């Protein structure tokens, strides 16, 4: 039996804002320095940049990046540049990615996350000269593993009922 095809309702701007605030709050938790913990803001920004590129774009990604720079006490503009690049790349491929099932979407998201982590690594190497090790890239792998769950959670309010009501036109 195949999965039902949902007709999605328009995304509520309040829900988009709440999901971005929730991702920011998850990044504020003290596990941020641990290896393999994903950047939830980056994950939600790439999700909304793919699904709602006209509502969540490069400007919002830049602002969230500045907030994360202030929180992390990192080089000002590091996360802003990374989130902006991530949003740009996600918007660039958003039409293609939406044609694939969720697991294949995750494989399309992996190079975006790895590219942005390489940019972040180059900035950190240039600024401090400290190499964080290869485990630095596990963040992207964990984010890709979470992509199906994030997709399911963030698209849940937009799904219509599977059983069609014959008295309504849609």
Rounded to whole angstroms, the Cα distance separating 53 from 63 reads: 16
Burial level of 19, CB count in 10 A (0-12/13-18/19+)? buried
Burial level of 88, CB count in 10 A (0-12/13-18/19+)? middle
Domain layout of the chain by residue ranges? 13-156
Alpha carbon 33 to its chain's center: 19
Residue-wise pLDDT for 45-79, tens only, equals 999 999 999 999 899 999 999 999 898 887 888 89
pTM of the model: 0.86
């Amino acid at each position: 039996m195949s999965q039902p095809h949902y007709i999605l309702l328009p995304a509520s701007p309040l829900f988009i804002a709440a999901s971005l605030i929730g991702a920011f709050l998850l990044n504020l938790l003290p596990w941020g320095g641990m290896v393999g913990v994903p950047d939830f803001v980056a994950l939600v920004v790439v999700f909304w940049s793919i699904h709602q590129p006209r509502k969540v774009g490069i400007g919002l990604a830049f602002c969230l990046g500045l907030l994360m720079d202030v929180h992390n006490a990192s080089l000002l503009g590091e996360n802003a540049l990374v989130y902006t690049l991530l949003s740009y790349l996600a918007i660039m491929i958003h039409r293609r990615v939406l044609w694939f099932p969720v697991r294949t979407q995750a494989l399309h998201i992996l190079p975006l996350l790895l590219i942005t982590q390489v940019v972040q690594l180059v900035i950190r190497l240039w600024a401090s000269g400290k190499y964080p090790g290869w485990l630095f890239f596990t963040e992207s792998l964990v984010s890709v593993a979470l992509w199906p769950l994030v997709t399911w959670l963030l698209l849940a309010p937009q799904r219509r009922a599977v059983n069609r009501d014959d008295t309504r036109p849609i």
